[in-house]
Amino acid sequence: MTTVENGVNVQALLEARTALQGAPEAAQFTWRASSKWQNGVHSQTRIQKYYGLGQEQSHKTESVFEADHPEVFAAEDNGITPIEYLLVGLAACLTAGVASVAQNRGIQLRSVEASVEGQHDIRGILGADSDVRNGFNDVKVTFNIDADATKQEIEALVAQSQKRSAVFDALTNPTNVSVEVA
Amino acid sequence: MTTVENGVNVQALLEARTALQGAPEAAQFTWRASSKWQNGVHSQTRIQKYYGLGQEQSHKTESVFEADHPEVFAAEDNGITPIEYLLVGLAACLTAGVASVAQNRGIQLRSVEASVEGQHDIRGILGADSDVRNGFNDVKVTFNIDADATKQEIEALVAQSQKRSAVFDALTNPTNVSVEVA
């Protein structure tokens, strides 16, 4: 029997699960982002620090993200649109889940690709029709996976990833978001 | 009276609103992302093409995003976590809205900063407690805005931005997400 190696330390994750069952306060994470308006609808957002396991934490490096609107919205296209960032998070979260579940089930992955499409009727955000919502009408993710497994096993991997995905939950279920002026 | 200039072409947006009221099919956009698994929970997502105004469109350049898990999750921290991308989108969307509404209301902005915090109990994604959801428990956005306006006018700007925000809607209301294996 060959050893499956998808690069996920499943042992550490299973130990964390057990440890956090007895220490719920350590499981409370706070993720943070700071953004600055540049000009027009262009902003820059920085991410590095977060809180978790009972203390302040830091990513190895700071990440910087540009967001803007495209030229067809009379803007400068200095970065992707804000709503496209949701698709990045969704693709990345489900892909990370596929790798983790595959490792746990002893399935060797060779390649995992995801295509995500979000349908968006922009009459909502423009205020052109009050019956049209502002966000996506719906989102579709299509995986192409090459792995040492049957189609059925691959479909089960994807289903389990979806079941444990933070971003899938955040998009398919409501979250309270409060917005304040300091 | 001085001319307000926040860099937003409000005239073009108002014309688009009027034009799309009579052409709903042109208002149907499809935003797209393609991701590739790298190793472990590290993936890379690319965004460039989209569809809208009845035809294929393209951002000026391709944007590439790395996502990973931090070292405290036994991963390599090659990028921010997938769920943090939601905070980037939220900050950027509300900030773009503040700039657009300010331009429309004749309010000159000097600076707009947003801090976003997402509370996340990671027992959900780890499967440590089935009563804990996978996504954020709640999200808080705090704006610091320096503008040629009263506190009340600034609060009204932020409220109107929230009302028309694509990402605020996508996070606070459910969206159908379908996940398939090709």
- % of chain A residues with pLDDT over 70: 99
Residue closest to A51 by CA, chosen among A30, A32, A27: A30
Q: What is the pLDDT of residues B130-147, one digit of tens each?
A: 999 999 999 999 999 999
Q: Which residue of A has its CA nearest to B124?
A: A164
Tally of residues, chain A = 182
Domain A81-173: CATH superfamily, name plus number: K homology (KH) domain (3.30.300.20)
pLDDT recorded at residue B3: 84
Q: With contacts defined as CB-CB under 8 Å, which chain B residues touch A139? A: 175-178
User: Mind telling me how many Å the CA of A148 is from chain B's nearest CA?
Assistant: 15
Yes or no: say if B76 and B40 are a contact pair by the CB < 8 Å rule: yes
Does the pLDDT of residue A44 top 60, yes or no?
Answer: yes
Whether ipTM > 0.85 holds is: yes
Does the pLDDT of residue A148 top 80, yes or no?
Answer: yes
Q: Which residue of B has its CA nearest to A115?
A: B34
The reported pTM is 0.97
Q: With contacts defined as CB-CB under 8 Å, which chain A residues touch B119? A: 28-30
User: Mind telling me how many Å the CA of B1 is from chain A's nearest CA?
Assistant: 21
Comparing A58 with B3, the larger pLDDT belongs to A58
pLDDT recorded at residue B149: 97
Q: What is the pLDDT of residues B31-64, one digit of tens each?
A: 999 999 999 999 999 999 999 999 999 999 999 9
**If pLDDT is split at 50, 70 and 90, which confidence band does A3 have?**
confident
Does the pLDDT of residue A1 top 60, yes or no?
Answer: no
User: Mind telling me how many Å the CA of B127 is from chain A's nearest CA?
Assistant: 7
Q: What average pLDDT does the structure give for chain A?
A: 96
A167: nearest CB among B86, B109, B166:
B86
Domain regions of chain B by residue span: 24-80, 81-173
Interface test with B, best of A30, A125, A143 (most B CBs within 10 A): A125
Given an 8 Å threshold on Cβ–Cβ distance, is A57 in contact with B72? yes
Given an 8 Å threshold on Cβ–Cβ distance, is A36 in contact with B113? yes
A179: nearest CB among B111, B124, B141:
B141
Q: Which residue of A has its CA nearest to B47?
A: A80
Yes or no: say if A155 and B153 are a contact pair by the CB < 8 Å rule: no
Q: With contacts defined as CB-CB under 8 Å, which chain A residues touch B65? A: 65, 88, 92
pLDDT recorded at residue B13: 92
**If pLDDT is split at 50, 70 and 90, which confidence band does A61 have?**
very high
Report the number of secondary-structure helices (H) and strands (E) in chain A.
Answer: 5, 6
pLDDT recorded at residue B2: 60
**If pLDDT is split at 50, 70 and 90, which confidence band does A2 have?**
low
Say how far apart CA A142 and CA B123 lie, in whole Å: 27
Q: What is the pLDDT averaged over residues A53-68?
A: 98
B129 burial via Cβ count (<10 Å: 0-12, 13-18, 19+):
middle
CB pairs under 8 A between A and B: 464
User: Which regions of chain B are under pLDDT 50?
Assistant: 1
Q: With contacts defined as CB-CB under 8 Å, which chain B residues touch A132? A: 27
Q: Which residue of B has its CA nearest to A55?
A: B72
Given an 8 Å threshold on Cβ–Cβ distance, is B175 in contact with A139? yes
Spatial CB neighbours of A116, under 8 Å, sequence gap ≥ 6:
A87, A90, A91, A139, A140, A141, A142, B32, B33, B34, B35
Given an 8 Å threshold on Cβ–Cβ distance, is A180 in contact with B24? no
Given an 8 Å threshold on Cβ–Cβ distance, is A169 in contact with B13? no
Which token pair is B150?
């009263």
Interface test with A, best of B56, B93, B110 (most A CBs within 10 A): B93
Given an 8 Å threshold on Cβ–Cβ distance, is B179 in contact with A158? yes
Q: What average pLDDT does the structure give for chain B?
A: 96
Interface test with A, best of B100, B134, B157, B172 (most A CBs within 10 A): B134
